[in-house]
Amino acid sequence: MKIKLAQEDIQSSLIRKIERVSGEVLKMCYQCGNCSGGCPVSYDMEITPSQVMRFLQLGRVEEVANANSMWLCVGCLQCYSRCPKGVSVAAVLEAMRQMTLRKGTDHDRIKDIPFPFLKKAPQQAIVCGFRKFVS
Ligand code: SF4
Ligand code: SF4
Protein backbone atom coordinates (compact mmCIF):
# COMPACT_ATOMS: atom_id res chain seq x y z
CA MET A 1 0.00 0.00 0.00
CA LYS A 2 2.87 2.35 0.86
CA ILE A 3 4.48 1.70 -2.52
CA LYS A 4 1.19 2.43 -4.32
CA LEU A 5 0.83 5.74 -2.48
CA ALA A 6 4.41 6.69 -3.30
CA GLN A 7 3.77 5.94 -6.97
CA GLU A 8 0.64 8.10 -6.92
CA ASP A 9 2.64 10.93 -5.33
CA ILE A 10 5.25 10.72 -8.06
CA GLN A 11 2.55 10.76 -10.73
CA SER A 12 0.74 13.77 -9.31
CA SER A 13 3.96 15.74 -8.89
CA LEU A 14 4.84 14.96 -12.52
CA ILE A 15 1.38 16.11 -13.62
CA ARG A 16 1.82 19.35 -11.66
CA LYS A 17 5.21 19.85 -13.28
CA ILE A 18 3.82 19.27 -16.78
CA GLU A 19 1.11 21.86 -16.06
CA ARG A 20 3.66 24.32 -14.70
CA VAL A 21 6.10 23.96 -17.61
CA SER A 22 3.40 23.94 -20.32
CA GLY A 23 1.16 26.59 -18.75
CA GLU A 24 -1.86 24.38 -19.51
CA VAL A 25 -4.55 22.99 -17.21
CA LEU A 26 -5.02 19.37 -18.20
CA LYS A 27 -8.56 19.04 -16.88
CA MET A 28 -9.74 21.78 -19.27
CA CYS A 29 -9.77 19.19 -22.07
CA TYR A 30 -13.21 17.65 -22.53
CA GLN A 31 -12.17 15.13 -25.14
CA CYS A 32 -13.88 16.46 -28.24
CA GLY A 33 -11.10 15.05 -30.42
CA ASN A 34 -10.69 18.15 -32.62
CA CYS A 35 -6.94 18.26 -31.98
CA SER A 36 -6.39 14.70 -33.17
CA GLY A 37 -8.62 15.32 -36.18
CA GLY A 38 -6.46 18.24 -37.36
CA CYS A 39 -3.01 17.03 -36.37
CA PRO A 40 -0.95 16.32 -39.51
CA VAL A 41 1.08 13.59 -37.83
CA SER A 42 -1.46 11.94 -35.50
CA TYR A 43 -1.77 9.04 -37.98
CA ASP A 44 1.74 7.99 -36.96
CA MET A 45 1.54 8.81 -33.24
CA GLU A 46 1.33 5.92 -30.82
CA ILE A 47 -0.87 8.14 -28.63
CA THR A 48 -2.81 10.85 -30.49
CA PRO A 49 -3.08 14.45 -29.15
CA SER A 50 -6.53 14.00 -27.56
CA GLN A 51 -5.41 10.66 -26.11
CA VAL A 52 -2.33 12.39 -24.66
CA MET A 53 -4.65 14.71 -22.75
CA ARG A 54 -6.82 11.86 -21.49
CA PHE A 55 -3.87 9.70 -20.47
CA LEU A 56 -2.41 12.62 -18.49
CA GLN A 57 -5.77 13.38 -16.86
CA LEU A 58 -5.75 9.76 -15.70
CA GLY A 59 -2.19 10.05 -14.39
CA ARG A 60 -0.77 7.72 -17.04
CA VAL A 61 2.34 9.87 -17.53
CA GLU A 62 4.75 7.05 -18.21
CA GLU A 63 2.79 5.74 -21.18
CA VAL A 64 2.82 9.18 -22.79
CA ALA A 65 6.51 9.63 -21.95
CA ASN A 66 7.33 6.31 -23.64
CA ALA A 67 5.26 7.00 -26.76
CA ASN A 68 6.62 8.64 -29.91
CA SER A 69 4.03 11.48 -29.83
CA MET A 70 6.21 14.21 -28.32
CA TRP A 71 9.02 13.47 -30.77
CA LEU A 72 6.73 13.46 -33.81
CA CYS A 73 4.89 16.69 -32.95
CA VAL A 74 6.04 19.35 -35.39
CA GLY A 75 4.72 22.27 -33.33
CA CYS A 76 2.33 23.47 -36.03
CA LEU A 77 -0.27 24.52 -33.38
CA GLN A 78 -3.15 23.12 -35.42
CA CYS A 79 -4.34 21.40 -32.23
CA TYR A 80 -4.37 24.73 -30.37
CA SER A 81 -6.20 26.57 -33.14
CA ARG A 82 -8.91 23.89 -33.27
CA CYS A 83 -9.41 23.44 -29.54
CA PRO A 84 -12.73 24.91 -28.32
CA LYS A 85 -11.30 25.04 -24.79
CA GLY A 86 -8.12 26.92 -25.73
CA VAL A 87 -5.87 24.03 -24.74
CA SER A 88 -2.51 23.63 -26.48
CA VAL A 89 -1.54 19.98 -26.74
CA ALA A 90 1.57 21.27 -28.50
CA ALA A 91 2.62 23.05 -25.28
CA VAL A 92 1.98 19.90 -23.25
CA LEU A 93 4.07 17.76 -25.59
CA GLU A 94 6.80 20.41 -25.69
CA ALA A 95 6.87 20.47 -21.87
CA MET A 96 7.25 16.69 -21.74
CA ARG A 97 10.00 16.80 -24.36
CA GLN A 98 11.86 19.50 -22.42
CA MET A 99 11.49 17.59 -19.16
CA THR A 100 12.94 14.47 -20.82
CA LEU A 101 15.87 16.32 -22.41
CA ARG A 102 16.64 18.17 -19.17
CA LYS A 103 17.28 14.80 -17.55
CA GLY A 104 20.11 14.40 -20.08
CA THR A 105 18.25 11.80 -22.12
CA ASP A 106 18.95 12.26 -25.82
CA HIS A 107 16.34 11.09 -28.31
CA ASP A 108 18.86 11.02 -31.16
CA ARG A 109 22.56 10.34 -30.84
CA ILE A 110 24.61 12.66 -33.01
CA LYS A 111 27.23 10.05 -33.72
CA ASP A 112 24.56 7.70 -35.12
CA ILE A 113 23.47 10.17 -37.81
CA PRO A 114 25.03 9.11 -41.13
CA PHE A 115 27.69 11.55 -42.34
CA PRO A 116 26.33 11.72 -45.94
CA PHE A 117 23.00 12.91 -44.49
CA LEU A 118 24.70 15.56 -42.34
CA LYS A 119 26.65 16.75 -45.36
CA LYS A 120 23.54 17.17 -47.49
CA ALA A 121 20.98 18.42 -44.94
CA PRO A 122 20.40 22.19 -44.66
CA GLN A 123 22.25 23.70 -41.68
CA GLN A 124 19.03 25.06 -40.25
CA ALA A 125 17.44 21.61 -40.28
CA ILE A 126 20.45 20.18 -38.44
CA VAL A 127 20.40 22.90 -35.78
CA CYS A 128 16.63 22.57 -35.33
CA GLY A 129 16.95 18.80 -35.10
CA PHE A 130 19.66 19.02 -32.45
CA ARG A 131 17.61 21.51 -30.45
CA LYS A 132 14.61 19.23 -30.56
CA PHE A 133 16.18 15.82 -30.05
CA VAL A 134 19.40 16.35 -28.12
CA SER A 135 19.81 17.49 -24.50
S1 SF4 B 1 1.35 21.05 -32.76
FE2 SF4 B 1 1.93 18.90 -32.67
S3 SF4 B 1 0.20 17.85 -31.69
FE4 SF4 B 1 -0.49 19.87 -32.35
S5 SF4 B 1 -1.41 19.52 -34.37
FE6 SF4 B 1 0.72 20.16 -34.70
S7 SF4 B 1 1.87 18.25 -34.80
FE8 SF4 B 1 -0.11 17.76 -33.91
S1 SF4 C 1 -9.35 19.88 -29.01
FE2 SF4 C 1 -9.01 20.60 -26.91
S3 SF4 C 1 -10.79 19.89 -25.74
FE4 SF4 C 1 -10.79 18.78 -27.68
S5 SF4 C 1 -9.68 16.86 -27.21
FE6 SF4 C 1 -8.16 18.30 -27.99
S7 SF4 C 1 -7.32 19.33 -26.18
FE8 SF4 C 1 -9.23 18.33 -25.58
Please tell me the predicted confidence (pLDDT) of residue 110. 78
pLDDT tens digits along 6-40: 777 777 899 999 999 999 999 999 999 999 999 99
Assign 93 a pLDDT band (cuts: 50, 70, 90): very high
CB 79 within 8 A of CB 88: yes
Q: Under 8 Å CB-to-CB from 50, ≥6 apart: which residues?
A: 29, 31, 32, 33, 34, 35, 36, 89
Q: What percentage of the chain exceeds 70 in pLDDT?
A: 96
CB 8 within 8 A of CB 58: no
- Residue 44 in this model has a pLDDT that exceeds 90: yes
Task: Report the chain's terminal Cα–Cα distance, integer Å.
Answer: 36
Domain-wise residue ranges, the chain: 2-103, 105-135
- Whole-angstrom CA distances from 22 to 43, 96, 104 are 24, 8, 19
Integer Cα distance of 112 and 29 in angstroms: 38
Residue nearest to atom 7 of ligand 1 (CA): 73
- Ligand 2 pocket mutation pick from 22, 25, 47, 50 by most atoms within 8 angstroms of CB: 50
Most confident among 5-19, 76-90, 115-129 (mean pLDDT): 76-90
- Residue 54 in this model has a pLDDT that exceeds 90: yes
Q: Which CATH superfamily is domain 2-103 in?
A: Alpha-helical ferredoxin (1.10.1060.10)
Please tell me the predicted confidence (pLDDT) of residue 129. 85
**117-134 residues labelled b (16+ CB within 10 A) or e (exposed):** eeeeeeeeeeeebeebbe
Dist. CA 24 → ligand 2 center (Å): 12
